Structure 1
């Protein structure tokens, strides 16, 4: 299978296989996806800003113009040996998946195709097309945890000749969350403030870093599931202020409610307890979220989950028709679900 596990991705990016012609970088951490995509481009030696050696496409463009990706992949570069085709915003687009599958079977000799995607579940056509090809590679990106956060801290601070003690490291980690883009931004801001000093202190950290752990989509969605309005308001506001498209929050909620619907149906059909269903879920539920998901399964009936998905689908459609109302639409839909969850908890 042409894929790497999450902990193997950075190692592969340091020495990418030159025979790989198609690279898919995907996952819920948009900052980490973007960062690793840039690292891969740097490893190719190609100039992503040179229109003669690279082209950037949105997945929607590929979907709307059948054959566009194949034509680009077959174009011979004028002033370089290779040509970079960089696609962003990929997801469940059928046309894109079909063209990637075709190109993976007959890899382009003069082009390297890089695809940035969101959280692709196992079995999604695009991910399957890449994972089953010999000349392609799928690289997952999940929220920063433990050693990943430490590695970013060390990388950024070392670049400015700064050190940090154990107490300071623990304080800094407590203010950093699962989104790589927000994490790196906070550490770089701290390094700039401490420029010229030798060590980052706890006082520096308390003064310069805010708690960005709430920038994860999961925090906002989990607040909806648990019926915590104040937590949702804070998390949603931070997501929007950080530049997150409201559609992504709705899409994340839909994935979560779809997963809950499948688990609830298994509970009802097999007579299983919530804990047993969560323990056997595939993909597995992260251990820190298992109790929350179990509680949600107890609160939400199968019909209620179906209605929730209909509400989210309607909200997604409205955000596309009225982009100017996207934030208000997403917030209203999610608050309505939050209220439903809170009412279910009181019954």
Structure 2
């Protein structure tokens, strides 16, 4: 049985071993699962941008065609360095678990099988298969504790060459930790805001967090995910007139799309309806927005949501580099997201 404790995962990821060709990264912190999967993929030395070297699959597809995993794993690489089969959205699929079990009886020598999954309870087939195999390893990911949050703060701030006061750090502790990706995004937003300063103080943290007008942000977000370009433009103009920070707007939109990703993952892996997910969401979604979020979940599939998140991260960087053009850059890209939503609703 090979399973790392939560605090041992980072050490293993720093030095991947071919002793374990099958790696399962799972947990309730979807952002941390994604971050660690990307770290592992880069550490393998395999070109993750080359479609011949890195094959990206969905666990649901393999669940319906169990032979596909075996076929992909036995395909030889055209280049030195081996291959990576990167599988997302794994969960309770029995067919997929059986495919992994069959593969582990004679695992490939030059191929890594990287599996991303959500929270897997003890006894779930996939987790049992991996934990009981001598040539596979399970890496759990849970919400950050105080020590992990400190490490994350230091990691992000070091990339921006920034320091932080003790009281500002304490305030961050109260607002971070539920999801690694969201926490990292919050810290990067803060660093962009404080760029040019030597040290981040509590006033910076307080301003960037408290400067959000929830009602106005919801109107912009709802216009984007529902595909209402006219409403989006009107509310964006209103935000600009009130001199609301573009970073605040972008962060609010990012946060909504992260939640949609989380909800969509549950839809795809646990076969729950959009209405069931929205009604049971915590914190609770305001009742007037529930139907809109339900419709958004039906229109925005996992692939569209991934593209949207990539676009938003790029916009955050580009708007910071080009401050004079930032309002136009942000508006144009938010409109592009709204247009995509409108097309998906047809």
Does the pair score TM above 0.5? yes
Q: Secondary structure at the match of 2:196?
A: coil
Q: Does 1:330 align with 2:290?
A: no
Distance apart, 1:248 and its partner CA:
5.1
Distance in 1 between the 2:146 and 2:211 partners?
Answer: 16
Q: Does 1:153 align with 2:100?
A: no
Distance in 1 between the 2:26 and 2:153 partners?
Answer: 23
| CA distance 1:77–1:160, shift in 2 (3 Å) | same
Query: 1:146-295, aligned counterparts within 5 Å?
Result: 146-209=146-209, 242-246=259-263
Q: Secondary structure at the match of 1:243?
A: helix
Q: Secondary structure at the match of 2:28?
A: coil
Distance apart, 1:242 and its partner CA:
3.4
Map of 2:129 onto structure 1: 129
Distance apart, 1:162 and its partner CA:
0.8
Distance in 2 between the 1:140 and 1:332 partners?
Answer: 28
Distance in 2 between the 1:210 and 1:43 partners?
Answer: 38
Distance apart, 1:160 and its partner CA:
1.2
Map of 1:39 onto structure 2: 39
Map of 1:141 onto structure 2: 141
RMSD: 2.8
Map of 1:224 onto structure 2: none
Distance in 2 between the 1:132 and 1:79 partners?
Answer: 32
Map of 1:343 onto structure 2: none
Once structures 1 and 2 are overlaid, which stretch shifts more, 130-139 or 11-20?
11-20
| CA distance 1:334–1:178, shift in 2 (3 Å) | closer
Distance in 1 between the 2:211 and 2:132 partners?
Answer: 40
Map of 2:297 onto structure 1: none
| CA distance 1:28–1:186, shift in 2 (3 Å) | same
Query: What's the TM-score once normalised by structure 2's chain length?
Result: 0.65
Distance apart, 1:178 and its partner CA:
1.1
Q: Is the 8 A contact 1:175 1:211 kept in 2?
A: no
Query: 1:57-76, aligned counterparts within 5 Å?
Result: 57-76=57-76
Q: Which runs of 5+ in 1 are unaligned?
A: 213-237, 255-312, 320-325, 339-347
Q: Is the 8 A contact 2:176 2:183 kept in 1?
A: yes
Distance in 2 between the 1:246 and 1:329 partners?
Answer: 10
Q: Is the 8 A contact 2:88 2:116 kept in 1?
A: yes
Higher relative contact order (CA 8 A, sep 6+): 2
Q: Is the 8 A contact 1:175 1:210 kept in 2?
A: no
Distance apart, 1:333 and its partner CA:
6.4
Q: Secondary structure at the match of 2:113?
A: strand
Distance apart, 1:100 and its partner CA:
0.9
Q: Which runs of 5+ in 2 are unaligned?
A: 213-254, 286-346
Number of residue-to-residue matches in the alignment: 243
Distance apart, 1:91 and its partner CA:
0.4
Q: Is the 8 A contact 2:182 2:258 kept in 1?
A: no
Q: Secondary structure at the match of 2:127?
A: helix
Q: Is the 8 A contact 2:194 2:200 kept in 1?
A: yes
